[in-house]
Amino acid sequence: MIDVDIDTRLGAFHLRAAFAADAPVIGIFGRSGAGKSSVVNAIAGILKPARGSICVDGRCLFDASRGIDLRPEARRCGYVFQDSLLFPHLDVRTNLLYGHRRRRAAERFVEPARVIDLLGLSGLLDRRPATLSGGERQRVAIGRALLAQPRILLFDEPLASLDAPRKGEVLDYIERLRDDVRIPIVYVSHSASEMARLADTIVMLADGRCTAVGSVEAIFGRRDIDPDDIRETASVIDARVASHDREDALTTLVFDGGKLVVPLIEATTGARMRAIVRARDVSLALRRPEDISIVNILAGRVRSIDARDGIVDVAVAIGSALLTARITRHSLRALAIREGVEVHALVKAVSLDSRGEYG
C-alpha cells in the first residue's frame, strides 16, 4: 500500500496530491507539468513537502506533523530517471554493483546474476556507458536500481528519451521485472500506451491535484476526465494469447466473455495482453450481422448509457469485460437501445501491437 497526502509550493506551482493505492504497479499519469515527477521525488526524499505524510507498506517515510523525514538512502527507493545517469567512468558491471555493495547481506533479496539474466546484460558487463545504446543504458539503470535492494521502485518517464524500437525493448524488460521480482513499482508517464501495458492502478494528476484513482479499465473509460489527458474514451480488456495464424498474419486473444482477433503479434501462447478498444471503433447491432468483413463480433448486454454533449457512450457487458461503444443519438433512438438490451458489439479495430501501443 502506498499512501500519499502532501501539500507544498514549488514557486508558483501548488502541489496538493492525496491518494492511496495498493497494486503491484501504480501508474502516475497526466500531462507534462501536472506534478508527476514532484510526487515521486517526494516519495524518494528528494523533495520535502511543506505538509502531509508519505507511507509505503505501512512504513512512514515522511510526516510533517510528527517530524519524520527519512533520508533518501534510508527510504530504500530504487529510482530510474528519464536519463540513465550512469557513472560514465565505470563499466556496466561496476555501475550495477554500486548500490549492491553498500547493502548488508541480510538486506539483499535479489542477486546480481539474476538481475543480469533478467535484463539481458551479460554481454554488456565490460563496456562503458558511452558505448551503449539508449535502451541498453536504461536497462543498466534499472538493474542498478534493483540491485540497491529497494523496497519500492520509482520510474520517472524512463522511456521519454528513447525512440519507438528502444521503447518497446525496454518495456519488455520492465514487464519481466514486474512479473519476476514482485516489488511495488510507481511508474510515471504521460503515455497512455505505457499506462495500459504496465499499470494495475492509475493515479491521474492535473495541475498538481489527483483527479482520479482507479483501474486502467475504469480510468480509460471515464468521460469526466479531460479527453486530451487520455486521448479519448477507450476500453481496456485483459486477455491472453490463445493462438497464432501465421498464414493469415492473425493472433487470437481470449478473455472472459469471448475472443478478439488482432493483427499478428510476437508473443508466446498464454502471454497476458491488454487490448485497447477505442469507443469510436465499436458499432452496435441488435442481431448478429451476416456477410460482413468485421471479424470481431461480441455478444453482450447494455450495462449503462451516457448521453451528453451530442455524444452517446454505451457500455456493454461482455463476460467480465466492459466495452464502450460511441454512437449517435439517432442510432440510440432507431435501435431502441436501453439498459438490459442484448446487443452485438462490432469491433472495427483493436489498438494493440507487440508493444501494446495505440494504433
Domains of the chain by residue range: 2-227, 235-347
Per DSSP, helices labelled H in 8-48 are: 36-44
How far apart CA 70 and CA 334 sit, in angstroms, is 63
H or E, element range at 216: helix 216-220
210's enclosing H/E stretch is: strand 209-215
Residue 277's pLDDT is 86
C-alpha dihedral (102, 108, 114, 120), degrees to nearest 10: -40
- The pLDDT of residue 357 is 37
> Dihedral of CA 194/200/206/209: which sign?
negative
Q: Which CATH architecture has domain 2-227?
A: 3-Layer(aba) Sandwich (3.40)
| Mean pLDDT value across residues 299-310 | 87
pLDDT at 350 over 80: no
If one counts every other C-beta atom within 10 angstroms of the C-beta of residue 238, the result is 16
What is the Cα 263 distance to its own chain's centre? 22
The pTM (predicted TM-score) of the whole model is 0.74
Q: What is the mean pLDDT of residues 318-344?
A: 92
Residue 225: predicted pLDDT:
59
Fold of 235-347: OB fold (Dihydrolipoamide Acetyltransferase, E2P) (2.40.50)
pLDDT for position 355: 35
Kindly tell me if the per-residue pLDDT of 132 is higher than 70. Answer: yes
The β-bridge relationship of strands 152-156 and 185-189 is: parallel
pLDDT at 144 over 50: yes
- Smallest CA-to-CA distance from 42 within 79, 94, 84 is with 79
What per-residue confidence (pLDDT) applies to 232?
Answer: 58
Q: What is the pLDDT of residue 61?
A: 97
| pLDDT at residue 226 greater than cutoff 70 | no
The 10s digit of each residue's pLDDT in 191-224 is: 877 888 888 899 999 999 999 999 887 887 665 5
Q: Given pLDDT bands bounded at 50, 70 and 90, which one contains residue 123?
A: very high
Cell 525512440: give the residue: 163
| Per-residue confidence band for 356, with pLDDT thresholds at 50, 70 and 90 | very low
Q: What is the pLDDT of residue 353?
A: 36
The least confident of 81-95, 308-322, 323-337 is: 308-322
| H or E element at residue 6 | strand 2-10
The length of the chain is 359
Q: What percent of the chain has pLDDT over 90?
A: 57
Nearest to 277 by CA among 245, 300, 309: 300
| Mean pLDDT score, 10-16 | 94
* pLDDT for 294 beyond 70: yes
Residue 124 pLDDT class (50, 70, 90 cuts): very high
Q: What is the pLDDT of residue 227?
A: 44
